[in-house]
Amino acid sequence: MTEGFIPPHGGYQNLLSYRKAEIVYDATVYFCDRFIDRRSRTHDQMVQAARSGKQNIVEGSMASGTSKEMEIKLTNVARASLEELLTDYRDFLRTRGEPVWDKESKEARYVRGLGRNMPNGTSGINETYRSPESHRTHLSHESYETYKPFIETRSPEVVANIIICLIHQTNYLLDRQLKQLEVAFLKEGGLRERMTRARLDARKKSIG
């Protein structure tokens, strides 16, 4: 059976970038409610940036069926929103005279390890893509609950650093995802190209 010109789309729940972004959002809501004045603009801006990172992955995934260009655009918006959030956490630490963990520090490596060693055998960040055609993978058991014992019991500077590590991981996944989307777009084109191919295939079948 010939594939239609609208490819399968959605399924954002299976994207590791979405799962990580969801963790960043949940952690940011907790962080802001606990450590940032709820009446301040910073509180709202940080929560909205975290939400934008998560929601634009969803919207990009849903738009992918009819517009690869829109999927790439929205994934870039998600990436930009998380970069903005990353700056907010760095500002939080800098204005309090607290350091950002070096990426090779034992603390940062420990946080990365929490997401890497999941019960179902996936290695989290290193298993984002299982084939050139897909940027999805089996769901890991990683969730906010994985990090909750640390986020909800540690000092604000430690929690900020934990979330910074999580944002870096999410951004890494989104960068990989964008490269995959660019390759797929160059190879397959957008909706117009798929429609043309489907029309030609249908014409060949009617002639044959």
Mean pLDDT of 140-147: 87
Domain assignment present for residue 68? The answer is yes
The yes-or-no verdict on residue 180 having pLDDT over 80 is yes
Residue 39 CB contacts under 8 Å (≥ 6 apart), including other chains: none
Extract the runs of DSSP E, i.e. beta strands, from 65-178: none
Domain assignment present for residue 168? The answer is yes
Domain assignment present for residue 79? The answer is yes
pLDDT at 159 (0 to 100): 98
Strand, helix or coil for residue 131: strand
What's the pLDDT tens digit per position in 52-109?
999 999 999 888 766 788 889 999 999 999 999 999 999 999 999 999 999 999 999 9
The yes-or-no verdict on residue 135 having pLDDT over 50 is no
Range of the domain at 39: 12-126+150-207
Q: What is the CA radius of gyration of the chain?
A: 20
Q: Which of 186, 178, 169, 196 is nearest to 71 (CA)?
A: 178
Longest dimension (CA), the chain: 74
Percent with pLDDT over 90 in the chain = 61
Tell me phi and psi for residue 142, to 5 degrees: -70, 135
Q: Which of 12, 17, 13, 10 is nearest to 124 (CA)?
A: 17
Domain assignment present for residue 3? The answer is no
Strand, helix or coil for residue 98: coil
Domain assignment present for residue 72? The answer is yes
How far apart (Å, rounded) are the C-alpha atoms in residues 136 and 152? Answer: 30
pLDDT at 201 (0 to 100): 53
Tell me phi and psi for residue 138, to 5 degrees: -60, 145
Give CA angle at 31 (75, 14), nearest 5°.
35
Average pLDDT of the chain, as a whole number? 81
Domain assignment present for residue 140? The answer is no
* 145-162: b (≥16 Cβ within 10 Å) or e: ebbeeebeeeeebebbbb
The yes-or-no verdict on residue 9 having pLDDT over 90 is no
The yes-or-no verdict on residue 203 having pLDDT over 70 is no
Total residue length of the chain:
208
Domain assignment present for residue 162? The answer is yes
How far apart (Å, rounded) are the C-alpha atoms in residues 36 and 156? Answer: 10
pLDDT at 100 (0 to 100): 98
pLDDT at 122 (0 to 100): 35
Domain assignment present for residue 161? The answer is yes
> What is the number of domains present in the chain?
1
The yes-or-no verdict on residue 197 having pLDDT over 60 is no
